[in-house]
Structure 1
Amino acid sequence: MSGYHRGEIAVQERSGLQRRAASAERAIGSTVPEVAADFLARQPFVVLGGTDERGRIWATQLTGEAGFLGVPEPDVLTIDALPAPDDPLAGLLSGAGEQAGGAAARIGMIAIEPATRRRMRMNGRAVRDGDGLRVHLDQALANCPKYIQERHPRRPAPDGGEERGEHRGGVTDGDALSPAQQETLRAADTFFIATASDRGDADASHRGGNPGFVQVLTPRLLRWPDYAGNGMFLTLGNLELNPAAGLFVPGWDTGASLHLTGSARTVWDPDEVARVPGAERLMEFEVTGVREIPAASPLRWSEPAFHRFNPPVA
């Protein structure tokens, strides 16, 4: 996966950012530098994106103690965790690769340290390795800290009751957003988006902004601004070739996870874009599937300090 594919190039050209993209391309490698390996070893979670057995793209997270992410070789990432059975990517990741007699699962990953606003993005091919995954990397790159809200991990209460989310019931599935889920999205300052190229190469990326930057237009249609970034357009480039996408919205204070699958498109209309502060383009996401899992993660986080570059929300 060296160089940009034709979808990424098409979006770069339409945005007039070919020169910036050419400069940024030098940051894309297929190995993890030593300083980045140390960064990964400190992280308690990683976000993954991939395609399920029905061809739907989802994003999710895996968690563990510091050290559950490892770099035994420069082009290999190990993850000492597997998704729970009710996770939308459980089938893809728990059965990936040689031990199950199948092909490696193509996944995108992003590791974020909210306290320092650092992040690293990796894409590759995962195989099951005991109770975890071994990912052979095709791409690895560090991204800028823009639009990441500062958060710090905190310990759950000793009894764990409310922190584990036991009062919220079980997993729920649907094909549209419930009123409560709509409010979750309207209040969100962070979500993650998974996409894949027309060849199936997956990617996972971060989106952030002030609460309200995600608009819920209907129970099945979302819209958000695409703010200025590094000009690579790895997400929008994939969508240019393959509109399938998945969103993951973490419950920072509850451990709940909201997973959406559907399709996304870029809105280029200048009049529409001009109505949204800070937007360079708009993105629309049509929901076709929803899964909400209470207490999916043991992690709990402090209230956010919003990034100073977050544009205002109208």
Structure 2
Amino acid sequence: MSSPMDQEKTAFHVGEIAVQERAHGSGPGWRRAVSRVFRDTMPDQHRAFFENQSVLFLGLLDRKGCVWATPAFGETGFVRSPDARTLRVNAVPALHYELAFDMGEGAKIGVLGLELHSRRRNRLNGEIVKSGTDGFDIAVGQSFGNCPQYIQARAFDRQDRLTEPMEITHLDGLTEEVQALVERADTFFIASRVPEMTDDPRDGVDVSHRGGRPGFLGVTGKSTLSFPDFNGNRFFNTLGNIEADGRVGLYVPEFETGEALFVTGRAVIDWSPDRAGTFAGAGRIVDVTPEEILYVRNVFPAGGRLLEAWPGLETTGTWGEARGCGG
């Protein structure tokens, strides 16, 4: 593991550094170089990007410290950036009241803006500095962009679906209906956290996107959700949090129907090359043991249709193929 001195000079905490070194052997020089990508302010293009979105994907904690991934919706313009250090969201997150998210002053939050039709995405992690019944303000801790890899291009039409109240079902396990939703998914979102929240901008909540061929997220064993970790930007923000803490939240949407699965639980990284080798481009497998499961109808207020899958997904494998029963 790298020395505390290495950590002090970079944008990464000790969990991220440990995974980086195990995965690709990157040293302090690489970390110092790529740390320039992480800013404590949003560049103007990121501010304009966020303001053009009609959905944000968030990572939040509940009052018990469990972490959840959840969306927030609005008409285009519901997100504003009054200055380079502030993002103002004029909406409340989905399931905020049902799950009692911690949105008080100083609460940590992860934010992902994802423009699915263009495959553009930008992220920021920070803390809530103001909160009310109609929205909240976020102070930037870390602002950075991500590449378009594994994003499925989609178009949305809010007129496709009438606004109906959410129907929330708390589950004791992964029912057949939920398993079918999981294995149809080509996209999901994962939130993660560090063990202790401090004033250090590296210590907080993160949310990121995962994409692949339908079946890349699977139910393994009796109740474990598993997915391959494909090679990406090598920052390992999510896996670094898993290494340091292990608490995660998954949001698995069915864009066409508006239903979704919300899970909070514990994740571990499986470094076995034989298991990861089932999925081309994967370096390891992540296994999630659910501790709380919600199946929700009418979450996404817009109908979504696939425009184009990420190129090359045919070679990436599925859990069906891993079990030897076809895709």
TM-score (norm 1): 0.89
Preserved CA contact (<8 Å) 1:213 1:224: yes
Matched to 2:87, the amino acid is: L
The aligned runs of 1:133-172 (5 Å cut-off) are 133-157=136-160, 160=161, 163-164=162-163, 170-172=167-169
Q: Secondary structure at the match of 1:40?
A: helix
- Residue equivalent to 1:179: 176
Q: Following TM superposition, where does structure 1 have runs of at least 4 consecutive aligned residues deviating by more than 6 angstroms? A: none
- 2:271–2:284 contact (8 Å) kept in structure 1: yes
- Preserved contact between residue 165 and residue 254 of structure 1 (Cα < 8 Å): no
Residue 92 (structure 1) aligned with residue 102 (structure 2): yes
The 5 Å alignment of 1:252-291 reads 252-291=255-294
CA distance in structure 1 between the aligned counterparts of 2:82 and 2:164, rounded to whole angstroms: 35
- Name the residue aligned to 2:193: 196
- 2:232 corresponds to which residue? 229
1:9 corresponds to 2:12 = no
3-state SS, counterpart of residue 133 of structure 1: strand
Aligned to 1:312: 316
> Following the alignment from structure 2 to structure 1, what is the Cα–Cα distance between the partners of residues 13 and 126?
16
> Shift of the alpha carbon at 1:294?
1.1
Structure 2 length normalisation: TM-score? 0.86
Shift of 1:134: 0.4
2:45 — aligned with what?
35
**How far apart, in 1, do the equivalents of 2:38 and 2:86 lie?**
15
What CA distance in whole angstroms lies between the structure 2 residues aligned with 1:214 and 1:118? Answer: 22
Alignment match, 1:208: 211
Matched, 1:68 2:78: yes
Superposed CA RMSD: 2.0
- Deviation, 1:142, is 0.6
Q: Report the residue type matching 1:6 in the other structure.
A: V
Q: 1:81 to 1:155 in 2, by over 3 A?
A: closer
Superposed displacement of residue 176, structure 1: 1.6
Contact 2:63 2:100 in 1 (8 A): no
What one-letter code is carried by the residue in structure 2 that aligns with 1:192? F
- Decide whether aligned partners of structure 1 residues 85 and 250 sit closer, same or farther in structure 2, where only a CA change above 3 A counts: closer
Say whether the 8 Å CA contact 2:117–2:307 is kept in structure 1: no
- Equivalent position of 1:110 in the other structure: 112
Out of 50, 73, 90, the position equivalent to 1:80 is 90
Q: Distance in 2 between matches of 1:192 and 1:264?
A: 14
Indicate conservation of the 8 Å contact 1:52/1:88, yes or no: no
2:3 is matched with none
1:274 deviation in Å? 1.9
Identity score, percent: 34
Q: Take 2:263 and 2:150, find their aligned partners in 1: how far apart are those partners?
A: 21
Counterparts of 1:216 and 1:249, CA distance in 2: 13
Match of 2:68 in 1: 58
Distance in 1 of aligned mates of 2:217 and 2:301: 26
**Cα distance, 1:85–1:283 mapped onto 2, change above 3 Å:** closer
Alpha-carbon distance between aligned partners in 1 of 2:75 and 2:222, rounded to the nearest angstrom: 36
What does residue 325 of structure 2 align with?
A: none
The 1-side partners of 2:64 and 2:209 are apart by: 24
Following superposition, the deviation at residue 84 of structure 1 comes to 5.1
Matched, 1:18 2:32: no
Rounded to whole Å, the distance in 2 between the matches of 1:181 and 1:68 is 31
Alignment size in residue pairs: 300
Conservation of the 8 A alpha-carbon contact between 2:71 and 2:94: no
Q: Equivalent residue for 2:306?
A: 303
Cα deviation, 1:16-71, whole Å, max 9, x if unaligned, reads 24165544322111111111111111110001112111221111000001111111
1:302–1:11 distance in 2 versus 1, CA, 3 Å: same
Q: Displacement of 1:164 after TM fit?
A: 4.2
Give the gaps of 5 or more residues in structure 1: 98-103
Q: CA–CA distance in 1 between the matches of 2:72 and 2:260? A: 11
Deviates more, 1:47-56 or 1:302-311: 302-311
Distance 2:297 2:268 in 1: 29
